[in-house]
Amino acid sequence: MKKPAVNPGSGEALRASAARSLVPVLTGRGSLAGLDVRQVAPRDRSLLRALCYGVCRTLPRLEALAAALLRTPFKARDADVQALLLLGIYQLLYLRVPAHAAVGETAGAARALNKPWATRVLNGCLRRLQREADTLQERVDQEPSVALMHPPWLLDALRQAWPQDWQDIARANNLPGPMTLRVNARLNTRNAYLEILENQGIKARPCAYAPQGLTLESPCEVEALPGFNEGLVSVQDEAAQLAPELLAPTLADRPGARVLDACSAPGGKTAHLLEAFDLELTALDNDPQRLTRVEQTLDRLDLTATLKTADASTLDWWDGQAFDAILLDAPCSGSGVIRRHPDIKRLRRPNDIEDLAGRQGAILDALWQTLAPGGALLYATCSVLPRENADQIRDFLDCTSDAREITPENLPWGRRTHPGRQLLPQPDGHDGFYYALIAKASA
């Protein structure tokens, strides 16, 4: 029997797995959403995740350095070798991996990809980076989109939208987001759960704005959270936890109110609404697989809703009975959550923004017909681009005679954008998010 070239449990095998996982992102054919860490040993799963997400987070800069190191670019069919080079650069510049391992095991991983010819090329490039790191980084960082690690079109869009903040937004996008929890108010208080965490040796602090929110000092696997399987707590960013606060004036005094959560998957806000209020809630999503995640979330939390697979821009799913309130967490660019989904930098295209704005408008127009007179619709996105947010709602208000914005003026979070309120991503704080609350005139 032929002896395998690479030990399956070795550092070379781990880096080959990371390279294979990155190829769909580098070639624009897939995202990191399907990253299967089970392809490596349990002890290596955190490193595999850190390598893949780290490379995507720093991709524009890594690619500029790779181009400076290579005499001739790799061919398209060798995207896996290109991924190895990016992995090697990332380890040398951003991780505390010993340099001999970053170079030797990354170059050696080419054998696991059945491309032993690339070992010498990778080894040469990475050793040159070790010798000339300062000079090469200074050279590529002359380009702002490289230094700030965003594609030029996205950096231009941020600069135009937020001329005073665009660099801070980009820097926040380049940092890993904190792990934030939502304590189930039906089962516990935030302070009581904080004490449970402390007793388990897990350090956390209350969120600044979300009443049920806690931010962990260090991320952990959800299975390590006390009472997670019993529904005591869920993982949800602080910005995403603000929806029930905004809908409270509409729902707090109306037990049994009919509420629609459109575009509901994966169900975090659905569950939060049901934890906060007694509702008759319908959760809608056009993806049956993602709607399954809503069902799993509700089962874990012992909550009940009516689930429907349907396109929210149509009304063929609607029974004609109006809703008292609607939460529309609209499909968007995700430009406010890049730190959690860094592959957005590679996969999103400039034309996507206008296409998404068109779909958002179509959903708004359709759902407005299902809202009862006197009811309220909360529009939300995880975007920081005005075309998907304030501009979108402004257009809707201009064309809808019975709609009136009622977003509170004196909230302690975000910025008033007239209409709506915008949160920008904060290092070690909340994600980028947008909310606008719209009332429908009484009949």
Question: Active-site residues: which are they?
Answer: 382
Q: How far apart are CA 356 and CA 434, in angstroms?
A: 15
DSSP letter, residue 400: -
Q: Note whether 386 and 254 are within 8 A (CB).
A: no
Q: DSSP letters along 333-388, please?
A: --TT-TTT-TTHHHH--HHHHHHHHHHHHHHHHHHHTTEEEEEEEEEEES---GGG
Residue type for 351, please?
A: N
Strand locations in 256-353 (E)? 257-262, 279-285, 306-309, 323-329
265 annotated binding-site participant? yes
Instruction: Say what angle helices 79-94 and 99-112 make with each other, to 10 degrees.
Output: 170
Count how many residues are written for the chain. 443
263 annotated binding-site participant? yes
Instruction: Return the H-helix or E-strand segment holding 395.
Output: helix 390-399
CB atoms within 10 A of CB 224: 10
Q: How far apart are CA 402 and CA 242, in angstroms?
A: 25
285 annotated binding-site participant? yes
Q: How far apart are CA 303 and CA 202, in angstroms?
A: 27
CB atoms within 10 A of CB 99: 13
CA distances from 167 to 154, 159, 171 (A): 12, 8, 6
DSSP letter, residue 30: -
311 annotated binding-site participant? yes
266 annotated binding-site participant? yes
Closest to 211 in 3D by CA, of 287, 276, 305: 276
Q: How far apart are CA 438 and CA 294, in angstroms?
A: 26
Residue 376, strand partner residues:
325, 439
Q: How far apart are CA 120 and CA 106, in angstroms?
A: 11
Q: How far apart are CA 254 and CA 421, in angstroms?
A: 25
335 annotated binding-site participant? no
Residue 58, strand partner residues:
none
Q: How far apart are CA 37 and CA 47, in angstroms?
A: 9
Known binding-site residues equal 263-269, 285, 311, 329
Known binding-site residues for S-adenosyl-L-methionine equal 263-269, 285, 311, 329
